[in-house]
Amino acid sequence: MTIAQEEAVEASLDPANVVGPARRPMSRNRLVWLRLKGMPRFWVGAAVIIFIIVWAFIGPALYAWSPTERDPLNMNMGPTMIHWFGTNAIGQDLYAQTLSGLQKSLVIGLIAGPAATLIAAVVGSTAGYLGGWVDKSIGWFVHLLLVIPSFFILVLLSPIYKGLSWVALTIFLAIFSWMIMAQVVRSQTRSLRNRDFVRAARYMGMPTGQILRRHIIPNIASLLIIDATLGVVSAIMAETSLSYFGFGVQKPDVSLGTLLADGTAAALTRPWLFVFPAMVLIILLFAISLIGDALRDAIDPTSGVNRG
């Protein structure tokens, strides 16, 4: 054996030169998770949201007062050891009412936001994929709904749902909050429907609904996740605004919007009636926005400068 052959054999036996099996490519979900792990704002937002949800739904069980219970001896009192957030003009405990209002706002936001995204995904992907008269009809309908802001539409429809429970308000918020995202999904679907994998599925005779579920919507899932997260913020803001002006949650139900409306007139003389509900609302919206911002950067790093 020549010297060159001996060196080649030794090199092949060196562990550093042994080529192992090809490593499997990292999945998109794991890649997104690894990016999220390195973003402090995601963990801050997630921790605050978890705390707020636990506080809203478990806190009332650990507190002595209920939202409707009155204390005639401590009306219009500031925060004390007995009433942590103070009381209103009729002696109701503001801490208990804030937790009750927070529950309502959370449930409305967590249902209406993702529901609006689901409607946008179905309508937008159907219009973009089918094209033709279906696309034109849906596009015309969406443009018609966008002519008047959804807030004013909900105000005009308030006589219908005001007499019903807050569940009706949640449904109406979802119905009139999907149009802009539907336009984005429609545009993205148009660019995907001529891709090779979509054409192959169509030539194989796969039904339209199955193509949308398996090939179209998964490829725009990042946009939908971001929209659903930020949609929670939009739904909470819309509910709070409607309730503040008397078009949303109606008494005896309580939401953060109704508490802010009741406390506005006394913001200078009895600031606790306004400050505590306002602080809870601001912290809630800020935490959800942090999560939405982190998800956007993790799913699409090119969407902006990664500040994590």
What is the mean predicted confidence (pLDDT) over 36-65?
91
Neighbours of 289 (CB within 10 A): 16
> Does 164 reside within a domain?
yes
Residues 6 or more apart in contact with residue 172 via CB below 8 angstroms: 154, 157, 161
pLDDT (0 to 100) of residue 149: 80
Residue, of 181 and 150, whose pLDDT is higher: 181
Residue 12 zone, left/alpha/beta (φ > 0; ψ -120 to 50; rest)? alpha
The pLDDT tens digits for 66-78 are 998 998 888 889 8
Q: Give the chain's mean pLDDT.
A: 84
| Residue 269 is assigned to a structural domain of this protein | yes
The answer to whether residue 234 sits within a structural domain is yes
- Asked whether residue 306 carries a pLDDT value surpassing 50, the answer given is no
Q: Residue 139 sits in which domain range?
A: 28-70+83-303
| 155 Cβ contact list (under 8 Å, min separation 6) | 242, 245, 247
Within 8 A by CB and 6+ apart from 146, the residues are 179, 180
Mean pLDDT of 287-306: 77
Question: Does any domain span residue 12?
Answer: no
Number of structural domains found in the chain: 1
Asked if residue 289 is part of any domain, the answer here is yes
Query: In the predicted model, is pLDDT for residue 98 greater than 90?
Result: yes
pLDDT greater than 80 at residue 236: yes
Q: Is residue 1 part of a domain?
A: no
Contact 289, 233 (CB under 8 A): yes
Q: Is the pLDDT of residue 223 over 90?
A: no
pLDDT in tens, 186-201: 999 998 888 888 888 8
Cβ distance 32 to 297 under 8 Å?
A: no
Whether 67 and 254 have beta carbons less than 8 Å apart is answered as yes
* 291 found inside a domain: yes
Q: Distance between CA atoms of 254 and 70, rounded to whole angstroms?
A: 15
- The pLDDT-based confidence of 251 (bands split at 50, 70, 90) is confident
* Residue 174, pLDDT score: 92
Cβ–Cβ under 8 Å, residues 39 and 308: yes
CATH number, domain at 258? Answer: 1.10.3720.10
Report yes or no on 10 lying in a domain: no
